[in-house]
Chains A and B, each alone.
Chain A
Amino acid sequence: MPSARWVVERHGIRILSDRTEGTLLEGLEAAAWDMVARGDSTARTAAKLASIGRLAIEDADQRLRGWLKAWRSAGWLPREESLG
């Protein structure tokens, strides 16, 4: 589960920060965050992202893995976070 606080906004998902106005995730990345933060596995998230983005499953999976890496680097997900 995420270590960052977050809210669903009209244009995406805002990752909250105590010091700044936070970071707005948009589009497919926001959808991916929502699924991961609500506890979906990587496989299930990638399958849904493929449908939402009209992508091949491999492409959706690759994008998801890139975002997961970035989110961990930003400290929004624990480094040891393991998704099915």
Chain B
Amino acid sequence: MMFAEGSVFAIPAGDRWILSGPLQGIHALVNRQAIAALAANDENPLPSALDELRRELRAPAPQPEIREGPPVPQFLGIIPTRACNMDCRYCGFGAADAPEELLDAHAAVATVDWYADACRDAGRATMDVRLFGGEPFLARDLVEVVAHRTRIAARERGLAVQLEAATNGAYPESTARFAADYFTTLVLSLDGPEALHNRHRPLRGGHGSFDQVMRTAAIFRDSQAAFCVRVCVTNGNVADLASIADWICGELRPDMIDFETLHPTAESHLAGLRTPDPFAFARSYRAAREAASRWGVKANYAAAPNEEPRVSFCPVGQDALILTPDRCLHACYLLERDWRAVGLDLRLGTVDRAGEVRLDFAAIRRVRQLVGEKDGCRACFCRYWCAGGCHVNRHAAGPDFADFCVQTRLISAAVILEDLGEVGRARRLLDGAEAAGFACSASHDIANWEAAHA
């Protein structure tokens, strides 16, 4: 039996190699001779530890597949409004000129009921409903309608409820308390201590949002909800991620801190904010992860190794449905103008005025296939967790997407090394010349090792 192509990778890490079987979730640190011995297309006996590794890496493992069959949404996303009460310097959701339009409650309720039926019919145990914006809680009444209807629909069908919101936290205490009572996961944007947060995330009119956001954060912290703090990383804060993580943990002790790099927009350009250097981000993220772990808090980078191999990094291709204020059902929560601008059509259906959910099955099949169109990822050891990143930004960025690949490869290798107890090696990998060399070198597919190294 041989290694399947694209399933086991060798990645240089100083004088050793990371051997990675992402499908089996197996990673090891070995020398070059071991790689060569494992890659040999024979059944020659190996030292016992290596022999066991070979057996485990050759064992069949389920491969994530492009979806087929009737659509069952991974989750139901709802965007109550695209409007926002903040004026974030890097906003990529067009909030500055977003219409005040609210989603019609009748459409929201009808879609929740449709999704509840789909979950029941597919044998799912849980309804997973997620709110995005703009700022969803600006449409407080609609959020209440969605939250109550979801609970009622789930109860009627014997389902559990996962209710999540991504929010800016800038609203009255009563709204924060409602969110804390009804949502099972709350993702709060907070970029760091007061001066930094207010620089990145002012309210409309220019006043800082920090005080309101921290009041909300304390309510979320003290609630039963899983609490995640999302930090946007720019050229302005990339050097300080460890101290930011330490501060957030000390103040708020969230369940997770999510670090995401800025996606450049017209607004961010005007504010002088840029995407951070990928090498600096990888180094600083590693330090932040270490700082957070001292508090028992998980740091997360969305494209880093995760538990389940996947073919898509995001809702796209997973049949997730995102209901927009104009009653369209999209595969992605980004603005339609952004995905149209790069030649993508991510509309999957509509909800008509009578409350009927109308899916476009041809569109669903087309979007499912989109996740397989990433030729550049085939030989990359990150392919089963990064899965090519954001489909829209990937198309928009063109060759510049290389920065995303560099930081993802560096962070992935460092995470694997640290999980193997090789903290010093992870640090060295991210420093200076070794990082530059690593970022420029390809992953080595073990299935092709002999041909490449003959």
Interface residues of A (CB under 8 A from B): 8, 10-11, 26-28, 30-31, 34-35, 38-39, 44, 47-48, 51-52, 54
Contact = CB atoms under 8 A, between A and B. Distances in A.
Nearest to B175: A38
Interface in B104-146: 105-106, 109, 141, 144-145
A52 B141 contact: no
Contacts of A26: 155
Listed from nearest, the 6 A-B pairs whose CB atoms lie closest are A31-B148, A51-B105, A8-B181, A51-B145, A52-B148, A52-B149
B182 interface: yes
Interface in B75-118: 105-106, 109
Interface of A is mostly: helix
Contacts of B181: 8
A38 B178 contact: yes
B220 to A, nearest CB: 15
10 contacts: A28-B148, A30-B148, A34-B148, A39-B174, A47-B141, A51-B105, A51-B109, A51-B145, A52-B145, A54-B109
A8 to B, nearest CB: 4
Contacts of B149: 51-52
B226 interface: no
Contacts of A31: 144, 148, 152
Nearest to B355: A54
Interface in B144-163: 144-145, 148-149, 152, 155, 161
A35 B141 CA distance: 10
B155 A11 contact: yes
Given A28-B148, A44-B141, A52-B152, 17 more contacts: A8-B181, A8-B182, A11-B155, A27-B152, A30-B148, A31-B144, A34-B144, A34-B148, A39-B174, A48-B105, A48-B141, A48-B144, A48-B145, A48-B148, A51-B145, A52-B109, A52-B145
B226 to A, nearest CB: 15
Given A8-B181, A51-B105, A35 B152 contact: no
Contacts of A35: 144
A28 B152 contact: yes
B399 to A, nearest CB: 48
A30 B161 CA distance: 16
A10 B104 CA distance: 26
B361 to A, nearest CB: 27
A68 to B, nearest CB: 18
Contact of B174 (A38, A47, A48): A38
B108 to A, nearest CB: 8
A52 B112 CA distance: 10
Contacts of B145: 48, 51-52
Nearest to A39: B174
Contacts of A52: 109, 145, 148-149, 152
Contacts of A8: 181-182
A34 B151 CA distance: 13
A27 B109 CA distance: 14
Contacts of A10: 161
A27 B141 contact: no
A48 B47 CA distance: 69
A39 B172 CA distance: 14
A51 B106 contact: yes
A28 to B, nearest CB: 7
A27 B152 CA distance: 5
B441 to A, nearest CB: 51
Contacts of A27: 152, 155
Contacts of B182: 8
A38 to B, nearest CB: 6
